[in-house]
Amino acid sequence: MAANNERSFIMVKPDGVQRGLTGEIIKRFNNRGYKLVACKLVQPSKEFMQKHYADLSSKPFFNGLVEYMSSSGPVCACSRIWENKERVPLYCKYLKARVKTFVNVVKTNPLASAPGTIRGDYCVDLGRNICHGSDAVESAKREIDLWFKPEEVITYSLIEAPMVYE
């Protein structure tokens, strides 16, 4: 089986952790065949969240976002590999669509998110949307490097892979 090993970064936000939805969110990605390669609970500082969301620093909601992400409880940071047999250029597009679709169908606002997606099923407000998913392979790389030490990202074979992939 030829597999691409592009990684995504997914994070259960503080409201998702506080509401006991961490397992549910991890399960959704597991069920679809994503391989979990890193996972930890973190209480990020404001400075850390400012770095994570640096490209949104000019937005009016930036301070509230940083406050929300750093003050009300831990977040659960995860990295996953979606193993498939597509060529990499195609795959990059695919990962973006896949992760964004799982989280929210490219909608940040939960009220606009389709039922069946994580945001569409579990939350209501824009500023309490329970889950982050990187929006591209490049941003996933940046986020994984920010959140994990290299030794925290584990290499292993998924025993069920031949049952998921032809």
Binding of residue 135 to ligand IDP (CB under 6 A): yes
Which of ligand IDP, Mg ion, none binds 36 (CB below 5-8 Å, type-dependent)?
Answer: none
Binding of residue 105 to ligand IDP (CB under 6 A): no
Task: Report CA 35 to chain centroid distance, whole Å.
Answer: 13
Residue 132 bears catalytic tag: yes
CA distance 94 to 82: 10
Binding of residue 65 to ligand IDP (CB under 6 A): yes
Q: How far is the CB of 147 from ligand IDP (least distance, A)?
A: 15
Helix, strand or coil, per DSSP, at residue 59: coil
**Would you give the DSSP letter of residue 56?**
G
81-140 positions binding Mg ion, by CB under 5 A: 135
Q: How far is the CB of 58 from ligand IDP (least distance, A)?
A: 12
Binding of residue 108 to ligand IDP (CB under 6 A): yes
Which of these is catalytic: 132, 144, 147, 148? 132
- The site for ligand IDP, by CB under 6 A, has a size of 10
- Report the half-sphere exposure of 147 (CA within 13 A, side-chain side): 27
Q: Where are the beta strands (DSSP E) in the chain?
A: 7-12, 34-42, 75-82, 131-133
Residue 155 corresponds to which amino acid? T
Q: Are 65 and 53 in contact (CB under 8 A)?
A: yes
CB-neighbour burial class of residue 73 (10 A; exposed 0-12, middle 13-18, buried 19+): middle
Q: How far is the CB of 150 from ligand IDP (least distance, A)?
A: 25
Which of ligand IDP, Mg ion, none binds 129 (CB below 5-8 Å, type-dependent)?
Answer: ligand IDP
Q: How far is the CB of 43 from ligand IDP (least distance, A)?
A: 18
Instruction: List the one residue out of 59, 54, 74 whose CA is nearest residue 13.
Output: 74
- Where does this chain bind ligand IDP (CB under 6 A)? 56, 61, 65, 104, 108, 126-127, 129, 132, 135
Q: Which residues are catalytic?
A: 132
